[in-house]
Structure 1
Amino acid sequence: MTDSVDGVSELRAWLIEEVARRTATDPRRVDPALPFSALGLTSRGAAELTGALEVHMGRPVPTLLAWQYPSIDTLARHLVTGAHPAAAAGPAPAAGAPAEEPFRR
């Protein structure tokens, strides 16, 4: 379990630095629990982030993961442990409720 925890912490730190760089923000001001949109990441920036993740991790990372896991914490946890969005994202929206756009346009 420690390896998994260490892996999440390492990936989380990398994601904080990467999001800070892409949004021209001080890494100390990046709250990994906030949605990417609240951190200033656009849809394009999220797609670019998943591309950078592929290089960093040395394996394919589907672009849609940034929408399924819309924060640094949830994305890092999923990529390292395989945690699913239902476990990480809280309650599901009511039936017929519009999906929330996680990124600025």
Structure 2
Amino acid sequence: MDRMDYFYQDKKNPYRNTVGDLLKFIRNIGEHINENKNKDMKERIGEPSRYFQETFPDLVIYVYKKLKDTEYRKHFPQTQPSLSVPEAAVPVDLQS
């Protein structure tokens, strides 16, 4: 955790003790675990998804309960009509 915080030190944005920052931390570990500089961490924790499931067993259910009633359209309004894929033109010689 200290090494991950060191990365954000210049931005003055260290991890805080929140679920959101825990999720950000887990995501960042998953993205960077296979880099050579994190080889020792990978040896200690193994597969990140398994490690975090064992370390925070209630996290998935907690996040699910928080998000299940979220009104996504309120937070992510659709500003444009959805784009549709145009139908492919059928060559004249194949039309019956």
Shorter chain as denominator, the TM-score bin is: 0.3 to 0.5
Q: Return the TM-score normalized by structure 2.
A: 0.36
Q: Return the TM-score normalized by structure 1.
A: 0.34
- In terms of Rg, which structure is larger? 2
